[in-house]
Structure 1
Amino acid sequence: MVPGEESILTNLRRGALEYCVLASLRGGASYGRDIARQLTEDGVLAGGEGTLYPLLARLRKSGMVETRWQESTSGPPRRYYTVTPDGERALDVFVRAWEPFRTAVDTTVGKGT
């Protein structure tokens, strides 16, 4: 059976999404809904918010992000996420590994066209 596009995207996201979250936090603290909006707007990086919040919890438990609660003028307090130095280092390692990996995939896939 040939996998469908959604199955392929799920497998690709599995390895890269946490680093995309860390990269999105490099610009400063953000709360979950903003992170979700940013990563789901194209429908490619994340399929929806359902996968994001468990991922944020894992990143927090592993020390890659820190959280703080902040009062909101338009509702309940919001949990803001910030990348930690450990998260920055992990993202740097990922970027160094990703660039040659991406190039190899692009080269290999491009050979068939």
Structure 2
Amino acid sequence: MGKQMTEMLKGTLEGVVLALLTGQAAYGYEITTKLRARGFTDIAEGTVYALLVRIEQKGLVDVEKRPSEKGPPRKVYTLNTKGENELKEFWNTWSFLSERLEELRKGGN
């Protein structure tokens, strides 16, 4: 992944993860797997776990510890109302930016 892609992804990854949690609880490794299945193949698990800590601290998700077949209990993340509002704002911002960038790409001034 190039430097420009990495920098742009840093600014959007939180919204992407919140979108993945819409309507479906998941734990860290599941989220990483879903990201990779959608083409985000270069994202390290450590990046995802650090992001999950941040969104938990911001109160955007509810966290439940569930037993694991192997090892310690898993932290399962569910999008809560505050997270849904944050995701809505993310999509509004994304729409605004993508429309303006598309205009510029097509040569608009």
Question: Normalization by structure 1: what TM-score?
Answer: 0.84
Percent of aligned positions with the same letter in both sequences? 32
Aligned pairs, number: 106
Match of 2:61 among 52, 60, 65: 65
Counterpart CA distance in 2 for 1:32 and 1:57 is: 10
Tell me the C-alpha RMSD between the 2 structures.
1.8
Contact 2:56 2:63 in 1 (8 A): yes
Which stretches in structure 1 are left out of the alignment for 5+ residues?
Answer: none
Give the 3 Å change call, closer, same or farther, for CA 48–40 of structure 1 in structure 2. Answer: farther
**1:24-35 superposed matches below 5 A:** 24-35=20-31
Contact (CA 8 Å) 2:62, 2:79: kept in 1 or not?
yes
- The letter of the residue matching 1:14 is K
Mapped partners of 1:48, 1:110: distance in 2 = 34
Q: Which amino acid aligns with 1:21?
A: V
TM (norm. structure 2) is: 0.87
- Gaps in structure 2 of 5+ consecutive residues: none
Other-structure match for 1:95: 91
